[in-house]
Amino acid sequence: MKKNNILLLIGGSALVVFFATAWYVAKNISVRQSAPVVISFEQCRASGNRITNSYPRECIDAAGKRFIEQVRTAAGKSDVIVIDTPAINQKISSPVTVSGRARGSWFFEASFPIKLVDAEGKILGTAIAQAQGDWMTTEFVPFTALLAYTAPVGTDNGQLIFQRDNPSGLPENEDDMRMPVYIASTDERVVKVYFGKAGASEADCGNVFAVERTVPFTQAIARATLEELLKMYEASWIDEWYDSKETARRYLEKGRRILEKFYEQHSGHWPTTKAIEQGFNLKMGDYTLKGKIDRIDERDGGVEIVDYKTNEIVPTKLTADQKEQLLIYQMATEFVLHENPVALTYYYLTENKPISFKGTPEELTALRERITTTIVAIRRGDFAADPSPQKCRQCDFKSICPFSQA
């Protein structure tokens, strides 16, 4: 009898353990099945995760994964650009800092245009957004811009328009994201207006009186200067060197963007320029070297020599060959123009990036010897080919040259 009771007890305990284990497993399976995989902004938000104030809004889950709200661009796309500042419907004032993230395909040459328009669609200001990282990617790339504008009259409603850069000009490549904002009036400034006293001579500048006036502080004058600069650029444009009208138009637009970036970056702190296109005749023993320097600026203790470059690829470090041109300019500045060059600068326009250095006495001596040797070889008719992949790629005769390494 005792043995049967023990068996019953053991059997009952086993059943309890079995059912408890089954219940626990079933419960956990049920819990796992009831927790859906989050794949959208709406699901992330419904789970109580953090929502950002960006436009479009983002939901960030516990693991740090971001889900972007489905706000579509003019071309019907989503998940291509996010504006962090300013916020949607925020009241902005001039100048306004704009920042966010955009897919690499939204940029061209690390930038894209931004416009601010009023309720009637009138353009109040423009800016160029600059990528803050490698834009040759399909991932999001941070960008920033500083946009100055002239405040509208009679309305405070406006839109920031983030345009996809479209160098091709093709309609199918156009796109933009629009975000509503409120536009604050520009700051006011107190200025003094001077009037001459009655009967006083116009040449007597001391015989005047001042009247204070409160006027709006505006970027209109600066913008008018830029527009005048762009008009001069377009009037000087020659499109006969391009293989098609489309290629010429594309390069014309590229030049406009470069000028706008250059003006925006330097506006308000322009250097004092002593000369542009400065010619020189530099004696090299029995020979004379002629050339022109793009720009010479005043600097503390001397001058800076600036040469503009339109290279697509900006070097990280200058080679000896790349330095040669500015080293010649350094010698011409010292011995012909009798100025002290404190810096030699290549200014790469595609990225608005200067690279500066100054030649050492050893570099200048070596260059003089190399120039003299080259002149002597030319006069002897010694034109032996000196091919290299880098040189040949830039040569106009690479397709017919038997020594080409392009």
Structural domain of 316: 273-393
Work out the burial of residue 228: count CB atoms within 10 Å of its CB; fewer than 13 is exposed, 13-18 middle, 19 or more buried. exposed
Is the CB of residue 344 less than 8 Å from the CB of residue 294? no
The answer as to whether 328 is a domain residue is yes
Residues 389 and 277 placed together within one structural domain of the fold = yes
The answer as to whether 346 is a domain residue is yes
The answer as to whether 403 is a domain residue is no
Residues 388 and 278 placed together within one structural domain of the fold = yes
Residue 359: per-residue pLDDT: 93
Residue whose pair of structure tokens reads 């850069």 in the numeric block: 165
Residues 262 and 304 placed together within one structural domain of the fold = no
Residues 258 and 303 placed together within one structural domain of the fold = no
Residue 230: per-residue pLDDT: 87
- Upstream peptide bond of 86 is cis (omega within 30 degrees of 0): yes
- Positions in the chain short of pLDDT 50: 1-2, 6-9, 29-34, 203, 205
246-269 per-residue burial string, b: 16 or more CB within 10 A, e: under 16: eebeebebbbebbbbbbbbeeeee
Residue 16: per-residue pLDDT: 52
Residues 229 and 281 placed together within one structural domain of the fold = no
Is the CB of residue 95 less than 8 Å from the CB of residue 114? no
What's the CA gap between 279 and 136, in Å, rounded? 40
Residues 257 and 319 placed together within one structural domain of the fold = no
Residues 264 and 277 placed together within one structural domain of the fold = no
The answer as to whether 404 is a domain residue is no
The answer as to whether 358 is a domain residue is yes
Is the CB of residue 292 less than 8 Å from the CB of residue 328? no
The answer as to whether 198 is a domain residue is no
- Both structure tokens of 99: 């920042």
The answer as to whether 206 is a domain residue is no
Q: What is the torsion angle, in degrees rounded to the nearest 10, for the CA atoms of residue 394, residue 396, residue 398 and residue 400?
A: 180
Beta bridge partners of 189: 215
The answer as to whether 98 is a domain residue is yes
What's the CA gap between 66 and 80, in Å, rounded? 13
Residues 61 and 108 placed together within one structural domain of the fold = no
The number of domains in the chain is: 4
